[in-house]
Homo-oligomer: A and B are copies of this chain.
């Protein structure tokens, strides 16, 4: 008895095995797999039967080699834990599948070095296009990657000539947030900003623009925070300790809003009685009843779909100039916003 010493449990059948069994040439088997209608009924049946019996499965590696296409779109997410990206990835997988492509994901672990590694892996595997979700790398580095294949940046704005991008209109979203608060009667509306992080500057300028539009320039107040729970908490602490407490807070995203919420709760203030709070992103957890955060939602699945289209335009329609797509966000009203206590303060 001879022991099988292969690492692989079973050697998989190749197109030649199928051809031999069906009594035809390998070319015909290949044709049956790709364009069955172009083969005679008898041959097709024989090939299909042989393939079935052997459990044949075309080797995508070999196919990719000769076609110089993998039909795979690589997706590098900066953070697997961010539920926002999960929704976007859904849209990406969906759209890719419908166009005959498949999506493969890899995580960057919120770390530019590891993100670089993830990209290299994708490049080695010769994916046909790349979508970067919330990348933390420098645009100039990403542009170098874009010289080799179509790259779309998602959730981050750029004016790059080499790169496509798709994102929500952060300025418009911020203005919607302010409009909502003003319509409730607020005027002392403070903003926690997240510095120069992706999307943060536009949210801040949208806030300022809307405040001016409502004649509230005097009340503009931006406090430095970050896109994290901690950043939101620190900024909120600073605001409370200043003694001058606004009636409403516009946080740069939901995580920061959550941090602010904790500090407001701990300070003995009521939300929204004393302070209204609005976030940005509409995380899944923001709709939990105990949280019930009013926020600005982004059309996540659409974002994913749009990103795939941008890649495919370059791949299948030879577009070679950059496109930057902007989609509108929308307000989601829940329980953390309401009219200020003293309408006439």
Answer whether residue A262 sits at the interface, using C-beta atoms and an 8 A cutoff.
Answer: yes
Q: Which of B61, B89, B103, B146 contacts A61 (CB 8 A)?
A: B61
Chain B nearest CB from A73 CB (Å) reads 12
Alpha-carbon distance A170/B1, docked complex (angstroms): 43
Whether A65 contacts B65 by the Cβ 8 Å rule is yes
Complex contacts, A60 vs chain B, CB 8 Å: 124-126
Complex contacts, A149 vs chain B, CB 8 Å: 8-9
Chain B nearest CB from A1 CB (Å) reads 15
Alpha-carbon distance A109/B89, docked complex (angstroms): 11
Given contact pairs A59-B126, A288-B258, A290-B261, A9 touches B105 in the complex (Cβ within 8 A): no
Answer whether residue A5 sits at the interface, using C-beta atoms and an 8 A cutoff.
Answer: yes
Alpha-carbon distance A285/B288, docked complex (angstroms): 10
Alpha-carbon distance A65/B146, docked complex (angstroms): 26
Chain B nearest CB from A83 CB (Å) reads 6
Answer whether residue A344 sits at the interface, using C-beta atoms and an 8 A cutoff.
Answer: no
Answer whether residue A58 sits at the interface, using C-beta atoms and an 8 A cutoff.
Answer: yes
Q: Which of B61, B289, B315 contacts A64 (CB 8 A)?
A: B61
Interface residues of A, count at CB 8 A: 62
Given contact pairs A83-B83, A315-B7, A106 touches B107 in the complex (Cβ within 8 A): no
Within A48-77, which residues are at the interface with B (CB < 8 Å)?
Answer: 55, 57-62, 64-65, 68-70, 72
> Interface code A255-272, partner B: CB below 8 Å = 1, 0 otherwise?
000100110011000000
Given contact pairs A81-B86, A81-B284, A290 touches B265 in the complex (Cβ within 8 A): yes
> Interface code A157-172, partner B: CB below 8 Å = 1, 0 otherwise?
0000000000000000
| Oligomer: number of copies | 2
Of all chain B residues, the one with the shortest Cβ separation from A83 is B81
Q: Which of B7, B59, B83, B102 contacts A121 (CB 8 A)?
A: B102
Whether B70 contacts A80 by the Cβ 8 Å rule is no
Alpha-carbon distance A126/B291, docked complex (angstroms): 45
Complex contacts, A25 vs chain B, CB 8 Å: none
Whether A90 contacts B109 by the Cβ 8 Å rule is yes
Complex contacts, A9 vs chain B, CB 8 Å: 146-150, 314, 320
Chain B nearest CB from A144 CB (Å) reads 9
Whether B285 contacts A262 by the Cβ 8 Å rule is no
Complex contacts, A289 vs chain B, CB 8 Å: 262, 265-266
Chain B nearest CB from A231 CB (Å) reads 15
The 8 closest A-B pairs by CB, nearest first: A60-B124, A105-B105, A80-B86, A81-B86, A285-B285, A104-B104, A102-B121, A262-B289
Show 27 A/B contacts (Cβ-Cβ < 8 Å), sorted by A.
A5-B318, A7-B316, A7-B318, A8-B68, A8-B149, A9-B150, A59-B65, A59-B124, A59-B126, A60-B125, A60-B126, A61-B65, A61-B126, A80-B86, A81-B83, A81-B87, A81-B284, A90-B107, A90-B109, A93-B109, A104-B104, A104-B105, A104-B106, A262-B290, A265-B290, A288-B291, A290-B290
